[in-house]
């Protein structure tokens, strides 16, 4: 692939989206070379903000004909960076103009939206109709639906709820997966993901945008749980805390309304200051439901399980639990981004491990991290805080993080250290059996580095079939981040 972006191609692109939504202005292009990560955004020759699936289809077909690479960007909210792009040739699609909620179907319990929508808008649109979209563990105000489906394995736990995805393939073909209008099964209503053939939605989830450009999706919703109760318990050791997690997730495979979250002492300091009451492990059970009796019953169960495991109560934890269950009349969603942003330069250290044997792995991770934090201190860097957290998304898996935040926000060496720490941590976690959920930038490279020959062959076969010219997000999964010393953001 060597073709460049010709003047004719630019004119055709302009005709597709209109002059207002295409630019080659260097200043505008520069702002897309960075994102929320320490690893960097995309170098592009053109930034385009398409407004519809049809426009995306025409853009893809045109770029495919001219062998012009396309990088797709949602909220620009990665933690591991984006495809690096080529400042001479890459067309970057800023998908966030495609942010319409197409339908909240309260009869069929689905919501259909354009893929550039930021999750917060989607959550809000559903909530207005009394509905709930399961969007856990991620900052909803900055990630797009498309980015979430593409850049995270299992679409960050949305996976079981995705009914249909509309995808534009590299040649401009528009595909709708699942059973519904325009798909392989001509039903008037989107309602089932698996009808009429193989579950092709799955290949586009966590693909990093390599197999197609997502433009719309239909997601299953439930009625909004208006009641919230919490139980918070202290543990001195990780083993009994994990036992509580096990007892909980073995009863309920997908814990939509009642996650059990385990926080380390560093994380709890951010809630409780230097209180003597902070335990090494604090387990927080969030119980959401539709009426008092339901949540009380489920809270009683978790209280009983916690008792079995030796979970302790104290005044502060009980007060926190009580406060969490008290409706304030205000929006209850905690703004995690505001909290984390206040901490300084983040070294995000997330992981995904088997629940089985996790206690030993966790101890190793903490030892590894603390050694690196000692190293940072010797370099004169100032650690602001740490954030240890894990939970189980299913009976088999633990996800979590042991993040560290540095106060030296304007020191390039702090940024470089945090970036290296993130990269080294993932390599270490990989050596212990972690495959992290993020299929973005550096992490996609690392995940691809451990593919078996068979898996790689399957990946390449699919990629070759849907994107024979390799124009979609080129560079992803290929080691472009692994092979470099430094990222480019900051």
Partner 1 sequence: MADTAFRELDRVRRFIYSCRTCGVCRYKITEKVPYVCPVKKASPGFENFSSRGKIMLAQALLEGALEPSAGLARAAYSCTLCGNCMTQCGATDQDTGKPLVDNTAVVEALRADLLRESPGLVDEAYHRVLANTRQYGNPWGMPRSARGKWAKGLKLKDAQKEHAEVLLFTGCTMALNPQLSQRARKAAAVLKQAGVDFAVLGNAEPCCGSVQKRTGAFELARDMMNSNIKQFNSLGCAVIVTLCAGCCNMLKTEYAKTDEKLAPKVYHLVEYLSRLVKDKKIAFTKEQHMTVAYHDPCHLGRHLGIFNPPRDILRALPGITLVERVATREHTICCGAGGGMRLFDGGALAVDMGREALQAARAAGAQAIVSACPFCETNLETAAQGFDAPFPVYDIIDLIYDAAELNG
Whole-angstrom distance, CA of residue 45 vs CA of residue 68: 10
**Interacting residues of 329 by C-beta distance below 8 A, sequence separation 6+:** none
For helices 412-431 and 441-448, give the axis angle rounded to 10 degrees. Answer: 30
Q: Vertex 332, ends 331 and 335: CA angle to 5°? A: 95
Both tokens assigned to 410: 């304007």
Q: Vertex 10, ends 9 and 11: CA angle to 5°? A: 90
Both tokens assigned to 136: 């856990």
Q: Which H/E stretch holds residue 47?
A: strand 46-48
Whole-angstrom distance, CA of residue 435 vs CA of residue 449: 11
Residue whose CB is less far from partner 1, 65 or 384: 384
Sequence-ordered strand ranges (E) for 266-305: 281-289
Whole-angstrom distance, CA of residue 66 vs CA of residue 367: 52
Least distance (Å) from partner 1 to the CB of residue 273? 12
Residue whose CB is less far from partner 1, 325 or 490: 490
Residue whose CB is less far from partner 1, 270 or 397: 270
Least distance (Å) from partner 1 to the CB of residue 142? 4
Residue whose CB is less far from partner 1, 39 or 477: 39
**Interacting residues of 309 by C-beta distance below 8 A, sequence separation 6+:** 235, 240, 241, 243, 244, 247
Least distance (Å) from partner 1 to the CB of residue 467? 26
Residue whose CB is less far from partner 1, 34 or 193: 34
How are beta strands 350-354 and 397-406 bridged, if at all? antiparallel
- Chain-centroid distance of CA 300 in Å reads 32
Residue whose CB is less far from partner 1, 40 or 231: 40
Torsion of CA 212, 39, 447, 485, to 10 degrees: 130
| Interacting residues with partner 1 (CB under 8 A) | 20-21, 23, 25-28, 30-32, 34-36, 47, 49, 75-77, 94, 96-97, 118, 120-121, 124, 127, 139, 141-142, 331, 333, 335, 337-344, 346, 384, 407, 409-410, 490
Least distance (Å) from partner 1 to the CB of residue 278? 18
Least distance (Å) from partner 1 to the CB of residue 203? 28
Both tokens assigned to 328: 């304030």
Least distance (Å) from partner 1 to the CB of residue 209? 18
Least distance (Å) from partner 1 to the CB of residue 44? 11
Least distance (Å) from partner 1 to the CB of residue 148? 13
By CB atoms closer than 10 A (0-12, 13-18, 19+), residue 334 is exposed
How are beta strands 91-94 and 46-48 bridged, if at all? parallel
Residue whose CB is less far from partner 1, 143 or 286: 143
Whole-angstrom distance, CA of residue 353 vs CA of residue 307: 26
Residue whose CB is less far from partner 1, 56 or 302: 56
Residue whose CB is less far from partner 1, 249 or 345: 345
- Chain-centroid distance of CA 271 in Å reads 24
According to DSSP, residue 189 is labeled: S
Least distance (Å) from partner 1 to the CB of residue 6? 23
Residue whose CB is less far from partner 1, 297 or 339: 339
Least distance (Å) from partner 1 to the CB of residue 102? 16
Both tokens assigned to 76: 């620009």
SS3 label, residue 139: coil
């Amino acid at each position: 692939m060597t073709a460049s972006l010709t003047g004719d191609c630019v004119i055709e692109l302009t005709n597709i989206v209109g002059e207002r939504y295409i630019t080659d202005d260097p200043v505008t292009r520069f702002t897309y070379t960075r994102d929320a990560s320490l690893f960097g955004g995309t170098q592009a020759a053109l930034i385009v903000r398409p407004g519809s699936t049809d426009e995306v289809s025409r853009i893809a077909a045109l770029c495919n004909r001219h062998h012009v690479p396309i990088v797709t960007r949602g909220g620009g909210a990665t933690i591991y960076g984006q495809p690096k792009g080529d400042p001479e040739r890459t067309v970057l699609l800023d998908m966030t103009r495609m942010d319409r909620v197409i339908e909240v179907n309260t009869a069929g319990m689905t919501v259909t939206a354009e893929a550039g929508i930021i999750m917060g808008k989607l959550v809000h649109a559903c909530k207005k109709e009394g509905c709930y979209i399961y969007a856990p563990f991620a900052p909803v105000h900055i990630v797009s639906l498309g980015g979430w489906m593409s850049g995270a394995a299992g679409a960050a736990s949305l996976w079981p709820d995705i009914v249909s995805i509309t995808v534009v393939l590299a040649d401009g073909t528009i595909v709708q997966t699942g059973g519904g209008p325009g798909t392989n099964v001509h039903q008037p209503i989107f309602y089932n993901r698996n009808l009429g053939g193989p579950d092709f939605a799955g290949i586009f989830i966590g693909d990093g945008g390599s197999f197609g450009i997502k433009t719309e999706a239909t997601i299953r919703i439930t009625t909004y749980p208006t009641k919230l109760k919490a139980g918070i318990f202290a543990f001195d050791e990780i083993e009994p805390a994990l036992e509580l997690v096990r007892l909980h997730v073995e009863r309920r495979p997908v814990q939509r309304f009642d996650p059990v979250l385990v926080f380390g002492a560093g994380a709890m300091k951010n809630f409780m200051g230097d209180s003597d009451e902070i335990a090494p492990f604090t387990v927080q059970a969030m119980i959401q439901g539709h009426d008092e009796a339901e949540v009380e019953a489920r809270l009683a169960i978790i209280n009983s399980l916690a008792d079995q495991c030796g979970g302790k109560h104290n005044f502060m934890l009980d007060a926190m639990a009580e406060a969490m269950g008290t409706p304030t009349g205000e929006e209850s969603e905690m703004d995690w981004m505001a909290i984390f942003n206040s901490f300084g330069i983040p070294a995000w250290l997330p992981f995904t491990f088997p629940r089985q044997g996790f206690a030993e792995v966790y101890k190793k991770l903490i030892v590894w991290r603390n050694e690196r934090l000692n190293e940072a201190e010797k370099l004169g860097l100032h650690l602001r805080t740490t954030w240890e957290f894990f939970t189980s998304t299913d009976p088999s898996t633990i996800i979590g993080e042991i993040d560290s935040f540095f106060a030296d926000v304007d020191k390039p060496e702090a940024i470089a250290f945090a970036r290296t720490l993130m990269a080294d941590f993932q390599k270490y976690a990989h050596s212990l059996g972690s495959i992290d959920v993020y299929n973005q930038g550096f992490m996609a490279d690392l995940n691809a580095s451990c593919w078996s020959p068979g898996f790689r062959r399957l990946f390449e076969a699919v990629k070759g079939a849907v994107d024979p010219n390799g124009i979609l997000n080129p560079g992803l999964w290929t080691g472009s981040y692994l092979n470099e010393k430094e990222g480019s953001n900051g």
